[in-house]
Amino acid sequence: MGYRANRGGHAPGYLREALEEYLDGTDEGSLSDTIKVDYGERIVSLKWLLGQLWNCTDILPGSYCDHLDLEFGSSYAMAVRKMAAEFEP
């Protein structure tokens, strides 16, 4: 069975890489930002990508933990939840 965002677990690399590329390219943004996902060259919103990683248990690389002021060893789920909370008005 493949990855199902609502169940979590190990997310596909192309989703994790898309988030990392977004973080590499910006210090500020909004949920309406668009992102290119290297899976069929798909263009999606940041909100969609955060939703896909909402329950991802993969460990975020340490440099991105630093970038987001998260503890080393935090998951992608923790990262996207923090990002979403920061976008809230």
User: What are the boundaries of each domain within the chain?
Assistant: 13-87
Buried b (16+ CB within 10 A) or exposed e, 53-63: bbbbebebeee
**pLDDT for residue 5:** 83
Q: Which distant-in-sequence residues (6+ apart) come within 8 Å of 74 by Cβ?
A: 59, 60, 65, 68
Q: Are 77 and 57 in contact (CB under 8 A)?
A: yes
pTM of the complete model: 0.84
| pLDDT at 49 (0 to 100) | 92
Q: What tens digit of pLDDT does each residue of 61-76 get?
A: 999 999 999 999 999 9
- Three-state DSSP class for 45? strand
Residue 20 has pLDDT above 60, yes or no: yes
pLDDT at 27 over 70: no
